[in-house]
Structure 1
Amino acid sequence: MNDDRPAPAEIFSHYLKLLREEPWLEVAMCWTVVVPHDHRSISVADVGARVSGGTPHEAHETAPLEALPHYDGVHPMSVAPAGSAVVLFENNGFLGSLPEVLRRLSRDGRVCGIYWNVEGNNRLSYAADGRVLVNLDAMFWDEWSGDDFAVLEPELRAMTGLLAGDEDDWQAAAMTVVELVTGVRLTGEWLTEAHPYVTFRWPVAPEPLLRGRSA
């Protein structure tokens, strides 16, 4: 964690409030933040290539979340810059949580994200330089072992400390970890704005892009 960022408790309060104000978020979502090492922004086209791994996909002009297409076999993902980082958001999606996608997105950078669905399936993930280093069930945080904390020690310890008061707030706590790691905040304003998006055909490629291959 950087000392100049808000305290974990302040960030946690923000996400508790966001989940109260946007209750649909609690049902199913996938929020992924990509931070390149060289601070150069990642284009929508590059995101599309990395997520898909070369399988069919299409980039689109801006649209609000409620206007994105949802039908069999097609998965939409909003893509928007946040400084040198890029925010990927899926309403009731999961592509950003897949290990193969995380490996591709984290090439020459790092990625942190949280996913959950209506059935309680979820993943709090962190990847860097093409390797998935953290892949945890955020709901059962009290079952993590000491080794689970190794890569994101301060951020994950902050999360478990926040949950000591109410374990049911694991979603807000996991979102707090994403902000602590990336410095990027998800807001209600962002969720209502229009952003470029990419649609993918399922399944995406299972293998990571080869290092040095153009995306």
Structure 2
Amino acid sequence: MTSPQHLQSLLADLGLEQAATFTAVHGGDEDTVIRLFGGNPEHSRPLLLEELREHYDRDLILVSRSGPAVIVVENNNYQGSRQEVLRPLSRHGRTASVYWNVNAVSQLSLAEDGLISSAFEMIAPEDIPFGAPPDAWQPLLEGLTLDDGHLWGTGLAAVERATGARFDNSWVRGPHRAVEITRVPEYLLGQGLIDSPLLKREPFISYLASLGPSLLQPMRRHALDLALAHADLREHPLAVAALTAATLPVGARARLHRELTSLYEQAHLRARAMLIGEPQVFEPEWERPSHLVFRQAIVFGVLARCVAAHLPTPTGGLPDILSFLVTAMTGDGARVEEFWMVKHLHDAARTAA
């Protein structure tokens, strides 16, 4: 295995230490790997690895072989970190990738037999990893340190261990094939969702049967109802009024908007004050008393946004609120699980719009 320090230095020499993805497939075929990344192997051309730094704004991959593995390098792109790419690749051999960007987002991924085995954020390795056996990385990381100042080099070393690839001088010299790619479409429902029992009952059966723009409004209302229940606001008089804001006179709508905005601000301040007096360590974190008030603040803010959409004239329905509700749906349990399924389907329906 190449040392993390050497690999970190290599990244600096190549100009890839800011944002890149390295993917390796044990036993893979170059042309097959190119196709699964969304490229056409017949359109490949030679390119030096050191020249990849000049192609930071294009969907370009650099493909080569190192020992038993096919290696794909991306500059300022992340396709090799996506399950839509990793899972099909892993049907041709164990696949590993490491991704990082300038916003301190990173991911170390391992996939086998068509499934993500383990994927986690390298900057926060203590977070629960995602995957079928989520601890699959552990034996491969033995002896490696994820906080030693050579983080991306450590990720590359882990990819070497997992796939047999070698990021050595022989590999650096090439040859390498550059290929323009087209982004592989996202899964409608990815790993961990497709087998959910929620999909076997209504309204999810109907959502899947005709997923498209016509379902955006019912899914937004579904998500809002879940958030209201999660924040214990389902019976709040202003929440009830907000759900029928389109039927109110314009003056009443404007007043309702002001009142909801005020409740949002008050709840935010109250949550912050409560948090100061709470223990620093609280398990589980989302059951802090202040978190309920914070969730209420978020939902009041979303309701104010919904009412504002009807000012001065009523509109056809709810605005796109799911991204705002995400921060209110903390914790676990059936209600949170249902919300996330609604959000995934809503995002897919919005894409189809």
Instruction: Name stretches of at least 5 consecutive residues in structure 2 with no aligned partner.
Output: 189-353
For residue 94 of structure 1, what is the aligned residue in structure 2?
A: 78
Bigger relative contact order, structure 1 or 2 (CA pairs below 8 A, ≥6 apart): 1
Distance in 2 (CA, whole Å) between partners of 1:95 and 1:51 is: 7
Q: Is the 8 A contact 1:79 1:196 kept in 2?
A: yes
SS of 1:185's partner is coil
Give the paired residue count.
185
- The answer to whether structure 1 residue 151 and structure 2 residue 136 are counterparts is yes
Match for 1:14 among 6, 10, 18? 6
For residue 215 of structure 2, what is the aligned residue in structure 1?
A: none
Distance change (3 Å), C-alpha of 1:134 and 1:123: same
Q: Alignment identity in percent?
A: 30
What pairs with 1:35-184 in structure 2 (closer than 5 Å)? 35-36=26-27, 41-44=28-31, 46-52=32-38, 59-65=43-49, 66=51, 70=55, 74-143=58-127, 150-159=135-144, 162-163=145-146, 166-184=147-165
Amino acid at match of 1:110: R
SS of 2:43's partner is strand
Moved over 3 A (4+): 55-58, 67-72, 142-145, 187-194
Superposition deviation, residue 134 in structure 1: 1.2
Amino acid at match of 1:63: L
Amino acid at match of 1:170: L
**Counting strand residues as a fraction of each chain, which structure ranks higher?**
1
Structure showing greater Rg: 2
Q: Is the 8 A contact 1:48 1:59 kept in 2?
A: no
TM-score (norm 2): 0.46
**Counting helix residues as a fraction of each chain, which structure ranks higher?**
2
For residue 204 of structure 1, what is the aligned residue in structure 2?
A: 184
Distance in 2 (CA, whole Å) between partners of 1:132 and 1:143 is: 17
Instruction: Name stretches of at least 5 consecutive residues in structure 1 with no aligned partner.
Output: 1-5, 209-215
